[in-house]
Chain A
């Protein structure tokens, strides 16, 4: 358990709760034919969430002696590369098309996980990206962004 995380989490959620309550006051307070408007439920939730955040904040001070666990080594580099690749892949999916994007993402992912075996990496990425596209778009008539426009296909 990480007390620092909990403390920040409780503060962040307190802010969210406050924002939620303030924002819910802007919602119309009545609905046609009922004096129970669409604002009551969100406001109540915000209130409970705020109370729970305070409770969590209080708990982080209570038994703080269990701190100082052995921190395991996290592989941030590997995570950041794959996450950045995934985020870029998701963001530009419609521009670069499904097949190109998936192929590139998988290749980067495979090689970041473990270097080497380029041939099988390329083969699996190509098979997966084209296979999914073929089955979903050609057979099942679904919608996926095809080849990019500038590709001329």
Chain B
């Protein structure tokens, strides 16, 4: 079968009434998550994993995996839409990737052009979503074919590259980011070793034999961590909500933003593919690019529509691009995709080159549903943007305790023991203190998810080479990955030494 018939099957899966419903719920919740400043895409996805797990419990394993990944991916790209709404209307970005949007978006809102800004953001996001999907369809099969040829040594080096890339770009201090990555890997070794069956670091605690559950840690670090931050720091948003007068953009606006949308989408997509460089960097770069090539750069920061169109397209395209390494090679490039990967593994679906052969329903169903989800978002956002903007006025009084209750419910529903609930609380507190002191959390989750796979591949490669570590350097592909990994870490360090400012990704 060729790609088109696979895609056709994917659409058949995605158009099932219950999958349509899941996609709809996903993008709806995602938009809400993007609008609310307390929860970002990562905690939103983490919180919803157990909820979707219970909703899909009646389906067959593969169908359940498809439906829940459709919903979770919907939350992910829905949040990208929602984030722009509050940056434009309130000057408070709901998540980090729409920080740049606020620069020009809020100015436009002040000038009474909030409606055009919002609709251009929605149109740009939609276009970018479609661009990244087309590229995903075209690249998925060839890339996974290449990845299939990799042996354990190549895989080990590739995953190492993924980890280095994410640590190199996350947060202010690379030492701290690397520490979090290694700590994640260390946490991943707890439990029964699945090669030799030996118990490691379990200290005879029965709950530890199956290892630390990824879900508990992700919900604790991201959802509870952010909740505790809100409680302690009394965040409030008393900003004036800008009025929305006309919703459709003018012809002039459309003309001015076509170029930025196209450039933003392409740039965002390629940045999204790179591990470590997520939506936040993509939106920054595209904004800078537009400012550089613009005929009148002085208009930026004073309400230029290109300053809204480009970053919004870029961050959406990046979230689509980030799906490519996840689906084709099984390497998540960001915190959110690491969580999606954890969700897939929970359903016993291993993302990676074999995904397209073993679970075509999951892979192509997800791709097709992203197309439908983007259409839904466009349809939802244009007329309902006023309703979504109201979500921000949900009083934190009710929101905060309910998020804690949902976290507890979610972890208990999947794990059914109080040990994990206590672990949840511990990681919640740890998440708050770590984040407050610039220890990025995304690398930890990434390490935890990739840890067992890195170790397996390392040991398989070493077994083949009789314990000789040189095998990673002798295989040419593996050597290339390792060299890139080393460069990824050292180049920013060298640049810093020379006093240059290095842009970092601050997604969580």
* Contacting residue for A86 out of B404, B433, B437, CB 8 A: B404
User: In the complex, what distance in Å separates the CA atom of A106 from the CA atom of B179?
Assistant: 36
* Contacting residue for B413 out of A41, A87, A142, CB 8 A: A142
User: In the complex, what distance in Å separates the CA atom of A79 from the CA atom of B234?
Assistant: 10
Report A-chain residues with C-beta under 8 Å of the C-beta of B186. Answer: 20, 42, 45-46, 49
Report B-chain residues with C-beta under 8 Å of the C-beta of A28. Answer: 196, 198
User: In the complex, what distance in Å separates the CA atom of A123 from the CA atom of B5?
Assistant: 52
Q: Is the CB of B175 within 8 A of A42?
A: no
With an 8 Å Cβ cutoff, the count of chain A residues facing the other chain is: 65
* Contacting residue for B198 out of A38, A52, A72, CB 8 A: A38
The answer to whether B486 has its CB under 8 Å from any CB of chain A is no
Q: How far is the CB of B437 from chain A (nearest CB, A)?
A: 5
Report A-chain residues with C-beta under 8 Å of the C-beta of B458. Answer: 41
Contact with A along B416-437 (1 / 0, CB 8 A): 1010011011000100010011
The answer to whether B100 has its CB under 8 Å from any CB of chain A is no
The answer to whether B182 has its CB under 8 Å from any CB of chain A is yes
- Given known A-B contacts A1-B437, A35-B467, A42 and B200 have beta carbons under 8 A apart: yes
Stretch at the interface among B7-15, B337-345, B393-401, B495-503: B393-401
Contact with B along A77-94 (1 / 0, CB 8 A): 011001100110111011
Q: How far is the CB of B56 from chain A (nearest CB, A)?
A: 10
The answer to whether A141 has its CB under 8 Å from any CB of chain B is yes
Q: Is the CB of B412 within 8 A of A140?
A: no
The answer to whether A100 has its CB under 8 Å from any CB of chain B is no
User: In the complex, what distance in Å separates the CA atom of A9 from the CA atom of B54?
Assistant: 38
* Contacting residue for A79 out of B189, B232, B398, B409, CB 8 A: B232
Q: Is the CB of B54 within 8 A of A74?
A: no
The answer to whether A150 has its CB under 8 Å from any CB of chain B is no
With an 8 Å Cβ cutoff, the count of chain B residues facing the other chain is: 58
Report B-chain residues with C-beta under 8 Å of the C-beta of A129. Answer: 405
Quick one: which of B57, B189, B458 has the most chain A CB within 10 A? Answer: B189
Q: Is the CB of A41 within 8 A of B459?
A: yes
User: In the complex, what distance in Å separates the CA atom of A59 from the CA atom of B183?
Assistant: 19
Report B-chain residues with C-beta under 8 Å of the C-beta of A23. Answer: 201
* Contacting residue for B418 out of A45, A90, A142, CB 8 A: A90
Report A-chain residues with C-beta under 8 Å of the C-beta of B189. Answer: 41-42, 45
- Given known A-B contacts A6-B437, A45-B185, A142-B57, A38 and B195 have beta carbons under 8 A apart: yes
* Contacting residue for B398 out of A32, A72, A91, A110, CB 8 A: A110
Q: Is the CB of B231 within 8 A of A90?
A: no
Q: Is the CB of B438 within 8 A of A1?
A: yes
Q: How far is the CB of B477 from chain A (nearest CB, A)?
A: 21
Q: Is the CB of B397 within 8 A of A106?
A: no
> Which B residues from 167 to 199 make CB contacts under 8 A with A?
172-173, 175-176, 178-179, 182-183, 185-186, 189, 193, 195-196, 198
* Contacting residue for A140 out of B54, B397, B433, B437, CB 8 A: B54
User: In the complex, what distance in Å separates the CA atom of A57 from the CA atom of B433?
Assistant: 18
Q: Is the CB of B183 within 8 A of A49?
A: yes
* Contacting residue for B182 out of A6, A52, A106, A114, CB 8 A: A52
Q: How far is the CB of B87 from chain A (nearest CB, A)?
A: 23
Q: Is the CB of A36 within 8 A of B433?
A: no
Q: Is the CB of B400 within 8 A of A109?
A: yes
Report A-chain residues with C-beta under 8 Å of the C-beta of B200. Answer: 24, 27, 38, 42
The answer to whether B408 has its CB under 8 Å from any CB of chain A is yes
Q: How far is the CB of A127 from chain B (nearest CB, A)?
A: 11
Report A-chain residues with C-beta under 8 Å of the C-beta of B173. Answer: 56, 59
* Contacting residue for A59 out of B57, B175, B398, B467, CB 8 A: B175
Contact with A along B372-412 (1 / 0, CB 8 A): 00000000000000000000000111101110110011001
Q: How far is the CB of A70 from chain B (nearest CB, A)?
A: 13
Report B-chain residues with C-beta under 8 Å of the C-beta of A142. Answer: 54, 57, 413
User: In the complex, what distance in Å separates the CA atom of A23 from the CA atom of B39?
Assistant: 38
Q: Is the CB of B183 within 8 A of A13?
A: yes
Report B-chain residues with C-beta under 8 Å of the C-beta of A55. Answer: 175
Report A-chain residues with C-beta under 8 Å of the C-beta of B402. Answer: 106, 124, 128
| Closest CB pairs A-B (n = 8) | A109-B401, A90-B421, A31-B196, A38-B193, A34-B463, A113-B397, A36-B462, A114-B397
Selected A-B contacts with CB under 8 Å, 12 pairs: A23-B201, A31-B195, A32-B196, A36-B463, A38-B200, A41-B458, A75-B231, A75-B232, A93-B408, A109-B404, A113-B401, A136-B413
Residues of B near any A CB (own CB < 8 A): 54-55, 57-58, 172-173, 175-176, 178-179, 182-183, 185-186, 189, 193, 195-196, 198, 200-201, 228, 231-234, 395-398, 400-402, 404-405, 408-409, 412-413, 416, 418, 421-422, 424-425, 429, 433, 436-439, 455, 458-459, 462-463, 466-467
Additional A-B contact list (17), CB under 8 Å, known A36-B459, A79-B231: A5-B437, A9-B437, A36-B462, A36-B463, A38-B193, A40-B462, A41-B455, A42-B186, A52-B175, A78-B231, A102-B405, A105-B404, A109-B404, A124-B402, A140-B55, A142-B54, A143-B413
